[in-house]
Chains A and B, each alone.
Chain A
Amino acid sequence: DIVMTQSPDSLAVSLGERATISCKSSQSLLYTSDNKYYLGWLQQKPGQPPKFLIRWASSRESGVPDRFSGSGSGTDFTLTISSLQAEDVAIYYCQQFYTTPYTFGQGTKLEIK
C-alpha cells in the first residue's frame, strides 16, 4: 500500500497569514500516460463530511477559493492557503488515487493563532 505522510500534525496560523501543509507519498504518484499526479486534497470542517478541494495535485475544484493552491511533484506535495480566513479552520487530508487501496495522510489540524 502507498503510505501518505503529512506534516505537521497541527498548525496554528494568524488570520491573513499563509498556511502550508506538506504531504509525502511512499512512491511516485505520477501517471506517465497522462503526466498527471494522482493526488488530491480534502478539507473536513468540524461535524461535516470531507470536501474535495484539489485534484491532480494542483487543480482547484469548482467553487474553491483561489487562496487555496496545491503544488508538488514526484513524492512531495504542498497545500498552501495564501491568506488564512476564519472559515478555513479544519482538518486537511491528502489522498492518493494512483492505485487502490486509496490511502490518506493522517490529517493536519489547522487552527487560528
Chain B
Amino acid sequence: EVQLVESGGGLVKPGGSLRLSCAGSGFSFSNAWMNWVRQAPGKGLEWIAQIKSKPNGGTTDYATPMKGRFTISREDSKNTAYLQMNTLETEDTAVYYCATGGLGLDYWGQGTLVTVSS
C-alpha cells in the first residue's frame, strides 16, 4: 500500500522558515516524481513544486510565486522528499500535501498544516 506521510508543519512568524518532510513507502520512491501542493483554509488546490526522479534527471520545477523562496529536494536513501520554505508570509498559511506523479498526481499524503502568524 502506498503511503505518504508529511511532517514538519506548525506555527511560524512572518519572515521565518520551515522545512517540511514527506516520507514515502509501498512504492519505488527512487523512481517516483514528487510534488508539493498546498490548500489555504477554505480554498482550492495550488501546485507548488516538483522534483523528478534521478533517472529522469532529478530536475525541479516551481510555481512562479514560490521561485526563490521555496526549495524542493529529495533523499532517496531515506525515501523522503523535502520542501524548504523561507521568508514565509501570512498568505502561505495552508495545509501542505505531498503527492507522487508526473502524469497526474496519483497518491497524496494527509497533509501538514503550516500557520504563519505573529
Contacts and interface: CB of A to CB of B under 8 A. Distances in A.
Interface stretch (B9-17, B21-29, B40-48, B78-86): B40-48
Given A93-B44, A102-B47, A104-B45, A52 B64 contact: no
A95 B108 contact: no
A38 interface: yes
Interface string A97-113: 10011111111000000
Nearest to A100: B61
A51 B99 CA distance: 10
Interface in A39-58: 40, 42, 44, 49-52, 55
B67 to A, nearest CB: 10
B49 to A, nearest CB: 9
A97 B103 contact: yes
20 contacts: A38-B103, A49-B97, A49-B110, A50-B45, A50-B99, A50-B108, A52-B106, A93-B45, A95-B47, A95-B104, A97-B104, A97-B105, A100-B47, A101-B63, A101-B64, A102-B50, A102-B105, A104-B46, A104-B47, A105-B44
